[in-house]
Structure 1
Amino acid sequence: MDAGSHSISSGKNSAAAVQRPPLQEAGSRPYMPPLSTTSRNPAAKCYGDRFIPDRSAMDMDMAHYLLTETKKDKENAAAIAASPSKEAYRRLLAEKLLNNRTRILAFRNKPPEPENVFAADTVSSHQAKPAKQRRYIPQSAERTLDAPDLVDDYYLNLMDWGSSNVLSIALGDTMYLWDASSGSTSELVTVEEDNGPITSVSWAPDGRHLAIGLNSSDIQLWDTSSNRLLRTLKGVHESRVGSLAWNNNILTTGGMDGRIVNNDVRIRDHAVQTYQGHSQEVCGLKWSGSGQQLASGGNDNLLHIWDVSMASSMPSAGRNQWLHRLEDHMAAVKALAWCPFQSNLLATGGGGSDRCIKFWNTHTGACLNSVDTGSQVCSLLWNKNERELLSSHGFTQNQLTLWKYPSMVKMAELTGHTSRVLFMAQSPDGCTVASAAADETLRFWNVFGTPEVAKPAPKASQSGMFSSSFAHIR
């Protein structure tokens, strides 16, 4: 069990908290200008640091000749002038030796001037590989909203951002929708006190239908465009449903009973497969981008990888065998994130007694790397546009940390929350990250920058599929 977790509360906090309207501006932190950086002056001349001495002064034959000539001139100038043989020798020596001095310790070709070398290298290097400017990462949240009655429970999953750019967040017994395009807030549903509080939420791929898990073990399916309850799934679990994950028309649910169930929302007998491998609450569920593998994390410190190909060979609603059972984490495994640029790469985070982010090859089950973050890992998100990973943490700093992958060098630490950052969700374009913490605030961070190519809009056919499927089974 994760030491930093709290038991679930009813969501009814102090009277002062109740009076606060949900998802209203709480005031942003003052803007912090980017840190000033010193850059090297490109106009400054550089002559290099290599020095090759001129060794003509060390010409031993020439030195001997000059010394000898000087001495003889002083001692017997008349005799030298009267001796034609010695005069001829002197001229010959000067022509052969003095005229060839530059050949000694000389380059075959004359080297270019240092200034020309620097200019040529600079131009060619810029043409070959233009320098990439480092992205500026704002250190403060762009927007802060109040989130009163947010349940402080590490094992729940109370926030999700759909493909229609609407953020859903559960505050106690009530599900709120915040439209990122307009900034407007609406209340979807307040569940009965006997069924609440809400314990999990997940958008369907169409961005229109929303699944809500309850403390009573029921699962509700809503059409958010018409604010209609389409279906309630009962009897799937024996206790609260803390995690949800969609794979096309399959809604996978994880409960405190340790069971994982695949529910086909198109048919009346929805429970089609069961994964049994956890002995305690399932607090993390994520399907891979291909929809072929499911990762599940539990309060039993276990991480399982389930494969569709193995499940399809088993009888319906039967127990399926895991592909990998991984026991490296020393605390609850809630934070799960599949890599967007490598299909078999999974990042996982452990609770307060573990504090590690681990990377896995889900084909082989090998642990590729493990990084001790120093604090409880609550959530993980990959950057869709760069090779970066964002993690949210609990005690002691309650921060968000941006890592460069695969070096795992810290690029930025975003602070502002005063309690553990339990949940994170990413906007459809991959730029903005929303974080919700036990301090009852919801903050938005422009941490992933601007994508080069806009993502295509979700297909309308998916929405029609869900509507027609729910219509005949209500």
Structure 2
Amino acid sequence: MDAGRSSSSSSRYPLKETILQRKPSRDDLDRFIPNRSAMDMDFAQYMIAEARNGKENPLSNSPAKEAYRKQLAEVMNMNRTRILAFKNKPPVIESLFPEQASSFNQPKPVKPRRSIPQTSERTLDAPELVDDYYLNLLDWGSNNVLAIALGNTVYLWDASDSSTTELMTVDDDTGPITSVSWAPDGRHIAVGCNSSEVQLWDSFSNRRLRTLRGGHSSRVGSLAWNNQILTTGGMDGVIINNDVRIRDHIVEKYEGHQQEVCGLKWSSSGQQLASGGNDNILHIWDRSVASSNSTTQWLHRLEDHTAAVKALAWCPFQSNLLASGGGGSDRCIKFWNTHTGACLNSVDTGSQVCALLWNKNERELLSSHGFTQNQLTLWKYPSMVKMAELTGHTSRVLYMAQSPDGCTVASAAGDETLRFWNVFGTPEVAKPAPKSNPEPFANISRIR
């Protein structure tokens, strides 16, 4: 036991034991050079001389010596207080501008993290909502009125007072209704039907203004406004620009899809149109390259998706950035530079992408999904980190619409419910709503 203890001690401190056992040689010694710059040699010599006389307090006998002692003490204390002494905080530098003086003393406020409610604020029944991935049955107008198509009827829900009115109903030969879209003025609304016709209605007077016929041979499942131009996409794969102010309303045709056009979105500038189809193709069309034969060639033909492309959303803070979502066998959200046609990023969401909405106040993207969770997912852009997942629907969330202030999102699902989510929060500075301008539609009522 003793031998083991000695061995352990030897291995733990090997350097120390080696130094004690070896006698230092002359070569190992360094010359010591004293530094007396910090010593008061006069006072030290005086104290040594007085100590030799056997006096315990030699300076207390003479007033002159007492004065000399005090002077020496003051000098020594002045020097010693500078060693490891705590100093007061440096004075605050006064600003040259008095109005900025307070900003130097106050810390910058930290923006609190936004709380995202995990449940819907309100749930409404939506009976007879058609469970069809290729249709677009929900839209929120600039007048803060939500339009939803249920079977053969379009209902208007006023968000200001939560009142519901019936706008119109079509017969079984015309219905069901397959798409709805508010005009920019917040008064007129376009309604696409299963019979291939498109009706224009005045929501203030609940009056049909005109019916657009002859453009499509089958149902019209997608609509998009560009000022006075109403763009329609049909099951026949054809996209038509209709000028609603003139009798011969068809002004352009875009032909490039081989199957149903299920997604249409104009950019904020009104220059580029994105169209998605059941043929898994995403097209970018540019009005500046329109040809003389009324059929326009696409600017970009993008074939990266492997399922139907219905979900489309133009970025509000970057004009040439487009987000698109694929169907059940694709499940991806892709981001595109529409000037070059380059795919900037692709994210596999794990489920069918039904709709996309950008946050107007923050760099965030909201997606709605089908199987298997039927959830809404909030993403941080461009990292695409999940910020929240909102659940409550029991069937795929086919349709989404955003309130005019950009804060509230309405979602409609195959479970025949309409839910409202405060997912985008409240903007820091409320922007006034743009004034409606009904002038581009003034001629609609004169056309039959």
TM-score, length of structure 1 as denominator length: 0.73
Task: Output the CA distance in 1 between the equivalents of 2:33 and 2:143.
Answer: 88
Task: Kindly provide the amino acid, as one letter, of the partner of residue 187 in structure 1.
Answer: E
- 2:443 corresponds to which residue? 469
- 1:238 corresponds to which residue? 217
Task: Output the CA distance in 1 between the equivalents of 2:443 and 2:214.
Answer: 20
Q: Tell me how large the CA RMSD over aligned residues is.
A: 2.8
- 1:137 corresponds to which residue? 116
- 1:393 corresponds to which residue? 369
Q: Deviations over 1:368-411 (max 9, x none)?
A: 00000000000000000000000000011100000000010111
Task: Output the CA distance in 2 between the equivalents of 1:227 and 1:376.
Answer: 36
| Secondary structure, aligned partner of 2:443 | helix
Task: Kindly provide the amino acid, as one letter, of the partner of residue 463 in structure 1.
Answer: P
Q: Go from structure 1 to structure 2 and tell me whether the alpha carbon gap of 1:194 and 1:130 turns closer, same or farther (over 3 Å shift).
A: same
- 2:391 corresponds to which residue? 415
2:225, 2:266 within 8 Å by CA — same for their partners in 1?
A: yes
Task: Output the CA distance in 1 between the equivalents of 2:361 and 2:349.
Answer: 23
Task: Kindly provide the amino acid, as one letter, of the partner of residue 170 in structure 1.
Answer: A
Deviation of the 1:111 alpha carbon: 10
- 2:227 corresponds to which residue? 248
2:268, 2:319 within 8 Å by CA — same for their partners in 1?
A: yes
Q: Deviations over 1:151-197 (max 9, x none)?
A: 00000000000000000000011100000001000111110101100
Task: Output the CA distance in 2 between the equivalents of 1:394 and 1:209.
Answer: 31
2:139, 2:146 within 8 Å by CA — same for their partners in 1?
A: yes
Q: Go from structure 1 to structure 2 and tell me whether the alpha carbon gap of 1:129 and 1:394 turns closer, same or farther (over 3 Å shift).
A: same
1:168, 1:177 within 8 Å by CA — same for their partners in 2?
A: yes
Structure 2 unaligned blocks of 5 or more = 1-29, 35-75, 77-82, 91-101
Q: Which has the higher contact order (CA 8 A, sep 6+)?
A: 1
Task: Kindly provide the amino acid, as one letter, of the partner of residue 326 in structure 2.
Answer: G
Task: Output the CA distance in 2 between the equivalents of 1:350 and 1:126.
Answer: 53
1:260, 1:276 within 8 Å by CA — same for their partners in 2?
A: yes
- 1:257 corresponds to which residue? 236
Task: Output the CA distance in 1 between the equivalents of 2:118 and 2:260.
Answer: 35
1:206, 1:458 within 8 Å by CA — same for their partners in 2?
A: no
Task: Kindly provide the amino acid, as one letter, of the partner of residue 387 in structure 2.
Answer: M
After the TM superposition, which residues 296-445 of structure 1 pair with which residues of structure 2 at under 5 Å, given as runs? 296-311=275-290, 314-315=291-292, 318-445=294-421
Task: Output the CA distance in 2 between the equivalents of 1:218 and 1:246.
Answer: 16
Structure 1 unaligned blocks of 5 or more = 1-58, 64-98, 100-108, 118-122
- 1:165 corresponds to which residue? 144
- 1:14 corresponds to which residue? none
1:293 aligns with 2:268: no
Deviation of the 1:144 alpha carbon: 0.2
| Secondary structure, aligned partner of 2:438 | helix
Task: Kindly provide the amino acid, as one letter, of the partner of residue 232 in structure 2.
Answer: T
2:404, 2:433 within 8 Å by CA — same for their partners in 1?
A: no
Task: Output the CA distance in 2 between the equivalents of 1:112 and 1:329.
Answer: 68
After the TM superposition, which residues 12-411 of structure 1 pair with which residues of structure 2 at under 5 Å, given as runs? 61=32, 129-311=108-290, 314-315=291-292, 318-411=294-387
1:258, 1:280 within 8 Å by CA — same for their partners in 2?
A: yes
2:276, 2:308 within 8 Å by CA — same for their partners in 1?
A: yes
Deviation of the 1:124 alpha carbon: 9.9
Task: Output the CA distance in 1 between the equivalents of 2:33 and 2:165.
Answer: 98
Tell me which structure has the larger Cα radius of gyration. Answer: 2
| Secondary structure, aligned partner of 1:364 | coil
Q: Percent identity?
A: 78
Task: Output the CA distance in 2 between the equivalents of 1:221 and 1:175.
Answer: 12
- 1:103 corresponds to which residue? none
- 2:22 corresponds to which residue? none
Task: Output the CA distance in 1 between the equivalents of 2:236 and 2:105.
Answer: 60
Task: Kindly provide the amino acid, as one letter, of the partner of residue 297 in structure 2.
Answer: Q
Deviation of the 1:126 alpha carbon: 9.2
Task: Output the CA distance in 2 between the equivalents of 1:111 and 1:345.
Answer: 61
Task: Output the CA distance in 1 between the equivalents of 2:200 and 2:31.
Answer: 98
Q: Go from structure 1 to structure 2 and tell me whether the alpha carbon gap of 1:473 and 1:398 turns closer, same or farther (over 3 Å shift).
A: same
1:302, 1:325 within 8 Å by CA — same for their partners in 2?
A: yes
Task: Output the CA distance in 2 between the equivalents of 1:116 and 1:296.
Answer: 65
Q: Deviations over 1:420-471 (max 9, x none)?
A: 00000000000000000000000000000111232333334x22431x2112
Task: Kindly provide the amino acid, as one letter, of the partner of residue 296 in structure 1.
Answer: S
| Secondary structure, aligned partner of 2:406 | coil
| Secondary structure, aligned partner of 1:289 | coil
Task: Kindly provide the amino acid, as one letter, of the partner of residue 231 in structure 1.
Answer: R
